[in-house]
Structure 1
Amino acid sequence: MLAVRMGWQIKGRPSWLEINSCDQAEGFGGQILTAKIFANQITPKTLYHEIAEIFSHPGTDLKELLDERFNMLHSRIRPLTRRQPASSISTESAPPLDFHDEDNTNDDSSAEDIFSAFLSHLFPDDAPSFHGDPGQRLLYTSPRYGDLEIMVPSYPGQSERRSTEIAVGLPSEDGSVNTVDEGRKLFAHFLWSAAMVVAEGVEKADTLAARGELDADTAMWTVRGERVLELGAGAALPSVICARAHAAAVTITDHPSSPALTGAIDFNIRRNLATTETKVTSHPHKWGTLESDPWAVAHRGTFTRIIAADCYWVRSQHENLVRTMNWFLAPGGMVWVVAGFHTGRAIVAWFFETAVQNGLEIERIHERDLIATSEDGGEVRREWMPEREGEGPENRRRWCVVALLRRRE
């Protein structure tokens, strides 16, 4: 059994994290083992080693579990510091004597955020479908490109005054479309795990190509010299990685009502792509709105790579999404489809049916485990199945489907 408690600073921020284990079944005899993690000294990797050391006693396999899980995809993301208002909450536990005031350090994450980022290592079946909070900045650690700062789009209508936020979410008297309400339905105010799958694939392909070790399986993710379009981009992490991987051009799109278009995408471009030669642009696009959109008309059939990561939970938009894919796809181009099962498996299967019925073909498809890796550090895969007996929310979240689509000749 793991128990967690935090010590609190006078300002209400967590100053240390304490992890306790009491497990008679593993031979601890009821002994309580404690690890104190100090917020001003910690990194995710240090946290891993601290926990692993505490639990590396004979009779427990927790250290082995952590060793196996540490390199999983989700460990690339951790939150950056969020400014929090001062608090008058009293404390029962004072910080240690060697504690350094958080305001006077360069620490970029609180103990709370660090432990939250590490939960998926301790509870691997509970893989997160998304990361970050609306408006939060995340640090994406890339083995090839270093640390990238990614801003999560704000929640539509987010403001300092809650009454104002509620008001802008109400239907207008004249019956017009409320763009704030429409934006909230897009769920762009998260960084979805499917986007991380695309980013990792592109980065791996770029790494292996540079070494002259690119294999046929990884070659599907190559973007060097390609013209890339991302649909429903949100935070646009895949687009950022594609630009770093030397795509010829990257176009980032999202629904006109998306909060991503009001600052997050521009921030992520400026912060991470200032020195890249790739031409990167962003543009609003509503799926299925093609002939009447001058921008869509001007770019018809020009993209050799199209990214659509976790864009499938609204079944009524599947046909519009496929129309958009067909419209922008260049001859010989490919579409990357990556989708988690957080809204169920059936909705994803319906998309593939719609795609095939409307001129696309599935060149390759598989399911990927978002948590486990093989002995050589590779992906754990299984066959894609439109239905899987005995599957439920408790065990499907760690899986996603990855597919490569092309236009049927």
Structure 2
Amino acid sequence: MSSPEKPQDTHPHDDDDQEINLFADPEDFYPPTPPPTTQTYLTTSGAPITLHLVGHSPLEAHHLWNGSRVVAAHFEADPSLVSQKTVLELGAGAGLPSLVAAMLGASKVVVTDFPDPDLIQNLWRNIDECTLIPTSPNSDKQNIIVADGYVWGMKPSHLLAHLQPSPESQPTPSQSQSHSEKKFDVLILADLLFRHSEHTRLLRSVETTLTVSHEARAYVVFTSYRPWLQHKDLHFFELARKRGFVVTKTFEKVMDRPLFEDDPGDEEVRKTVTGWTLAWPEAFVDGRKQMGEWPGVVMDREREEDGEGGVEK
């Protein structure tokens, strides 16, 4: 008589065949990251600029903001605002105003956003694919426009370094001295004022990167996308005046529709884009008064020791 066969283990959860993680999220637990998108800006000549946008960004860089479109058109209407000038854009997102400035003949453009690799790589892609930036056999796009990361309010040494002469130019000692002091003729701040907690840092960046001259300008263009907080947006200009800047409202444009059509709040306010400039006071440019004599800058002196920069002529 044969002995009975040993029964086989048919338990469905054999640890040798399957490992279960009780704490793992299901594959569809989180919604997928939205894919990257593109937007098109038509220049006044009819030539398009295609802009790549990241799929999603907590810094709102996945939108092409109305302020960017409007300030780009503002430069096209008067190319002398940027032609043959050095330009710095803060919080650029897709970098449209910077691309237009380069197209219009700016001598050097530095387009910046928070130093997140995806954001900076996307800026470089928009630069590389823009065919409207003039080049020559002896000068490629990177001699005209570059992308870099920057945190508002911090020392801008690496941004100012882009204004240094190339090693091939071999400047004389006197030229090196003048270049070491060189800053930007034009600053662009497009739709940044909704970040109310960053106003002081933004102004500190303006102070440390804008060249001291009668012609230098920071262009601040924005919409109050949350009309009930418009007073907080405008507080930026109160802070700028306290720090000694000359603040001028230069234009107002009403768009056909709000950027975010389903948002709450007064629709006319959400459709309206306003443009402002910050300029150095004549007394400061002429050396008759120091910026440190204004209360806003005096309050900031302690921060210089923390590596956040101060105002120098």
**Aligning the two structures, in what range does the TM-score lie when normalised by the shorter sequence?**
0.5 to 0.7
1:216-227 residue pairs with structure 2 within 5 A? 222-227=81-86
Partner of 2:51 in structure 1? 150
Q: Measure the CA separation in 1 of the matches of 2:46 and 2:183.
A: 27
Q: Structure 1 residues 301 and 329 mapped into 2: Cα distance closer, same or farther (>3 Å)?
A: farther
In the alignment, structure 1 segments of 5+ residues that lack a partner are 1-132, 157-183, 207-218, 373-390
Partner of 2:151 in structure 1? 286
Q: 2:219 matched to 1:356?
A: no
Q: Structure 1 residues 134 and 323 mapped into 2: Cα distance closer, same or farther (>3 Å)?
A: farther
Partner of 1:205 in structure 2? 78
Aligned counterpart in structure 2 of residue 249 of structure 1, from 108, 121, 126: 108
**Contact 2:86/2:106, CA 8 A, preserved across alignment:** yes
Q: Measure the CA separation in 1 of the matches of 2:111 and 2:251.
A: 26
Aligned counterpart in structure 2 of residue 267 of structure 1, from 114, 125, 140: 125
Q: Percent of aligned pairs with the same residue?
A: 26
C-alpha deviation, 1:371, in angstroms: 3.1
Q: Structure 1 residues 242 and 259 mapped into 2: Cα distance closer, same or farther (>3 Å)?
A: same
Partner of 1:107 in structure 2? none
TM-score by length of 2: 0.63
Q: Measure the CA separation in 2 of the matches of 1:152 and 1:250.
A: 20
Larger Rg: 2
In the alignment, structure 2 segments of 5+ residues that lack a partner are 1-33, 136-140, 164-180, 258-263, 285-313
Partner of 1:339 in structure 2? 222
Partner of 2:206 in structure 1? 325
C-alpha deviation, 1:151, in angstroms: 0.6
The aligned amino acid for 2:224 is: F
Q: Measure the CA separation in 2 of the matches of 1:245 and 1:297.
A: 21
Q: Structure 1 residues 331 and 308 mapped into 2: Cα distance closer, same or farther (>3 Å)?
A: same
Q: 2:68 matched to 1:195?
A: yes
The aligned amino acid for 1:197 is: V
Deviations 1:13-52 (A, max 9, x none): xxxxxxxxxxxxxxxxxxxxxxxxxxxxxxxxxxxxxxxx
Deviations 1:249-305 (A, max 9, x none): 1000111237421x3211110111475236111110001111xx5415646651001
**Contact 2:88/2:188, CA 8 A, preserved across alignment:** yes
**Contact 1:188/1:259, CA 8 A, preserved across alignment:** no
C-alpha deviation, 1:361, in angstroms: 1.3
Q: 2:253 matched to 1:368?
A: yes
Aligned counterpart in structure 2 of residue 239 of structure 1, from 98, 111, 124: 98
Q: Structure 1 residues 297 and 226 mapped into 2: Cα distance closer, same or farther (>3 Å)?
A: closer
SS in 1 for 2:212: strand
Partner of 2:187 in structure 1? 306
C-alpha deviation, 1:241, in angstroms: 0.5
